Amino acid sequence: MDRSASEPFLNMRFRVEIDGMRETGVLEVVFPAARLGRHAKNGIRARYGTMFLKRGVGRSQEWYAWWDQARRVRKPAMRAVTVTLLDEAGSSAHRWTFRNTRPIAYSISNLNALGHEALTETLELSVGGFEASDASALIAATAMD
Q: For 50-82, what is each residue's pLDDT tens digit?
A: 999 999 999 999 999 999 999 999 998 899 999
* pLDDT number for residue 44: 84
* pLDDT number for residue 145: 44
Whole-model pTM? 0.85
Q: For 103-119, what is each residue's pLDDT tens digit?
A: 999 999 999 999 999 99
Taking the alpha carbons at both ends of the chain, their separation in whole angstroms is 27
> Residue 102 above 90 pLDDT?
yes
- Residues 34 and 38: their CA atoms lie apart, in Å, by 13
The superfamily (CATH) of domain 3-144 is Hcp1-like (2.30.110.20)
Q: For 7-63, what is each residue's pLDDT tens digit?
A: 789 899 999 999 999 878 999 999 999 999 887 777 888 899 999 999 999 999 999
Give the mean pLDDT of 124-135: 92
Asked if the bond preceding 32 is cis, omega within 30° of 0, the reply is no
Per the prediction, the chain carries an average pLDDT of 88
